[in-house]
Each structure stands twice: as C-alpha cells, then as structure tokens.
Structure 1
C-alpha cells in the first residue's frame, strides 16, 4: 500500500468518514445486492477459497451480482497456515477468484486469519512461523498483482499467533474484526484499521464492514 494512500486514509479516518460494506460466502446463497447498494453499501468482500483444495461454490454468482449492482468488490481466502506454504495458497487464491486489477472497482484480495474448529488455535505454528507464513502469502500475492493483500484478523488471534507482530504495518491494509461499538485498540502496530468488521449480522446478508474513509478513499484502495 502506497505511503500517500496511508496518509490520505489516516486523514480520512481522523475526519470520521465511513463507507458501509459487507462480506459474504456460500452461507448467504441469495443476496439482494441492489437493495444493499440502494441502502448505502458500496463494497462487498466475497469468499473465494480455502487452503489449496476448496473453492466457494457461490463465489461467481456473488461476484457477478455485486458487479451488476455497482458495488466495489473483491475476494477473500480463508487461510490454512502450515497445511501448505503461504505462496502455494496465494497461487490457489489467485487462480480461483482472488486476482486484482487497478480498475477502481476491485479490492485487493483479503487473507482471512483466524482459528477454525478442532484445528490448533494457531494451526500448529509458532509465532515466528506464522509471521513467515503470512509473509510468504503476502509476498507472492504482491509479486503477481503489484498490491499487497488485506489482512483480516482479531486482536486476540493476532496477539497469540503472531506475537502481535508489526511486520505488516507498512504494506498490508488491516481488516479488523471486533464486534463492538468502536474499533478499540488496534493490534500489530497498525495506526488504524482500513476496514472494521463491526458486526456478524448485516441486513442484506453476511457480516457488516465499515471502510475507514470516504468513497474516494475506497476507490483509491481499489486502484492500487
């Protein structure tokens, strides 16, 4: 992410500008994208892949519907750290919906970092191993697209699984998951969140996301 954009977004955040968005997957098989747009939503993040074997069956439908409604959109990848390399998972994501182009309508891909079910909390990796894995994914995505992926996490997971690493502050936009009335303390040394997932319920499906800036800033994020 460019320094100029970081500065502009920080200023926008200070002015308390915000743009409503949401994120969805196959768990929301039917979404009224136009109604969401008419209600003020301007972006949506859509699940594309997990690991190196799973593609979300609703991704194409969601992506087409969001595009037709005029929403800024992008894909996300649910990480399985340690199962394969970060680079291998980035390649899988890029091949199945996670690509990017600087058209002002496509968000950089998002890497979803959290625990899952019976898997070990940090997927069996040490904090240094986790940071290296994320960097492998991020660097491969950047090499192919020219932009760094957004990183989705919550403060507890980031602290436990990366040791609250600040290794990505100057490169990767933060998507902060915290269901509360305010973002609270930002993990990992980021000065602010780029997107705040503030609720696990949104009127038109999925989770509610708030972009920390104005619509022009959101379009800059989608333009690289």
Structure 2
C-alpha cells in the first residue's frame, strides 16, 4: 500500500498542472445545524468534523454530523484538537481512534486530522519546548499509523509551526498538510512541505464552519480516502 504522503506528492503534481481544486469545509459543535444537502448542491465534496480533544472530550455533534455528511454523499473524516501538554501523543491518538478518528479504505473516509494550533489557555505551545513538541507529534503520528496504515493529516499555521516546533522540517514526507491562512494566497508554508494538500482559507464557509480547498481534483481526493 502506498503511503498517504506519496499519494499527496502525486496529488500536488497533478494539481499544479491542472489547477484543479475541490471545495470543502470543517465543522464542530459550534455549528450544530448544517444543511449538508445544500452544501453538496453548492459543490462542496468533503467535510472534516471535530471528533475529540485531549483525552477527555468527545464532540457532542460528531456522530450526527458524520452520519448526515455520509448520507449526503460527502467524503468525510474526523479531527482531533491536540492538547500536547496534558498527555502523550500516543494516548491522544488512541483516544481519537476510539471515538471517531479511525480510517478505512472505502473511498469516502479521510485519514484523521491532527489539529495543532495555539492553546486556548494562551500558552501557545502548551508548555513544551520545540524538541518536546516534535517528539509529541511523532508519538501521535506513529501511533495512528500503526493502527490504520495511514499517517494523519496535520493542520497548523505557519506561525504556530515556527514558534512551537522550531520550524521542524521532518514531517512533510509523512503527513499531508492542511494549512490555515485567511488571505487571498496561501503564503509561506511550514518548513518541510513544498505544497499543501488542503488550504483553510477563511473561517466563514457558507454552510457553517471554516472554508477549505483541496489541492487537486475529486478523483485525487478519492485516492487519499482509499489509501491507494
């Protein structure tokens, strides 16, 4: 089986030639009522849904969102909001896997997404040094990969990555990048990635949540969901 990273390389290469893209969005319990049928009719084809946070929180809307997205025909997946200072990467990956973050090669399930962003408490890097953060991320990724054969997507911003990992460049050959930048262009990417797989380009998707763009066409997105 090909790695997700190698698939994403092909996706990026094809996308650069064809300039293709697919609309999507990401949601959580802050968007309790989503009209998935309308989103699909408007051209969106994928949605990433919050499943867990740390090792104590399950998003109360995850199951409902996931079922409705599936019924509407979406490619969908779950995401985990990381709390690297509270427990190990392995513990959080396993919690995510147990509560919606799993993957199967059915062509409609995206590998899970690891959400790495500024801590809500104001301690941007959760009290970890850059080297400790890199170790934590590796622990999460390797645990997820051992369980699913896929590396999770990494969601982050360039500024967080620079601050909290020391702009580490070792993850681009493992995990596809979901980069957050609310601007007219994607800008400088975190070190280690020469392209993005998904760009979160604003926080006001017309169907609720954040607006995302996949860097490729629908068949390439389906390949990621199949893991082949």
TM-score greater than 0.5 by the shorter chain? yes
Cα drift, residue 108 of structure 1? 0.4
Cα drift, residue 119 of structure 1? 4.2
Aligned to 1:6: 8
Q: TM-score, normalised by structure 1?
A: 0.98
Deviating beyond 3 angstroms after TM superposition, the runs of 4 or more aligned structure 1 residues are: 1-4
Contact in 2 for aligned 1:82/1:124 (Cα 8 Å): yes
Q: Distance in 2 between matches of 1:2 and 1:158?
A: 21
Aligned to 1:104: 107
Asked if residue 74 in structure 1 is aligned to residue 77 in structure 2, the reply is yes
Contact in 2 for aligned 1:82/1:133 (Cα 8 Å): no
Cα drift, residue 125 of structure 1? 0.3
Q: Among residues 173, 177, 180, which one is paired with 1:177 in the alignment?
A: 180
Residues 4, 48 of structure 1: alpha-carbon distance in 2 compared, 3 angstrom cutoff: closer
> 3-state SS of the aligned residue for 2:161?
helix
Q: Among residues 36, 40, 44, which one is paired with 1:41 in the alignment?
A: 44
> 3-state SS of the aligned residue for 2:106?
coil
Cα drift, residue 11 of structure 1? 1.6
> Cα RMSD over matched residues?
1.0
Contact in 2 for aligned 1:12/1:212 (Cα 8 Å): no
Aligned to 2:127: 124
Paired residues, number: 224
Aligned to 2:144: 141
Cα drift, residue 4 of structure 1? 4.5
> 3-state SS of the aligned residue for 2:49?
strand
Aligned to 2:61: 58
Aligned to 2:200: 197
Gaps of 5+ in 2: none
Q: Distance in 2 between matches of 1:220 and 1:188?
A: 25
> 3-state SS of the aligned residue for 2:15?
helix
Q: Among residues 142, 155, 159, which one is paired with 1:152 in the alignment?
A: 155
Aligned to 1:20: 23
Residues 3, 28 of structure 1: alpha-carbon distance in 2 compared, 3 angstrom cutoff: closer
